[in-house]
Amino acid sequence: MNNGALAEQWAAQYLRQQGLKPVAENYRSRFGEIDLIMQDGATLVFVEVRLRRSADFGGAAASIDARKQQRLIRTAQQYLASLARIPPCRFDAVLMDDAQGVNVQWLKNAFES
């Protein structure tokens, strides 16, 4: 398993420990991929997991640029179109320096759609 997959697995476990419930992993559309889709109470949470070993080029948070955000939003819209009703939603990011969760940051509402 590669480091990205390990980081996603660790992030899913971390979010479950915080009370979120898993809905889907690696949801793909023609626009892109959403690493994790979780349920936080009544809110559907689209989660981007970022692993960066270096702060060069701004680190993990900076790698979720406007272009990446637009791909995530479009992918989430496609997912939501398959649901009977659209729940409240948000976009979170789980950032870490290591696939084992070293220096983890959970950014709720990392960006707006």
Q: Where are the domains of the chain?
A: 3-111
Q: Where are the alpha helices (DSSP H) in the chain?
A: 3-17, 59-62, 66-81
Predicted pLDDT at 12: 95
Residue type, 84: A
DSSP string across 72-96? HHHHHHHHHHTSSSPPPEEEEEEEE
DSSP secondary structure code for residue 101 in this structure: -
Average pLDDT over residues 51-62: 57
Tell me: pLDDT of 54 over 90: no
- Indicate the SS3 state at residue 19: coil
Segment 7-38, tens digit of pLDDT: 899 999 999 999 999 999 999 999 999 999 99
Segment 60-108, tens digit of pLDDT: 555 678 899 999 999 999 999 999 999 999 999 998 876 555 678 899 9
Predicted pLDDT at 51: 82
CATH of 3-111, one of 3.40.50.620, 3.40.50.880, 3.30.420.40, 3.40.1350.10: 3.40.1350.10
Model pTM?
0.88
Neighbours of 26 (CB within 10 A): 11
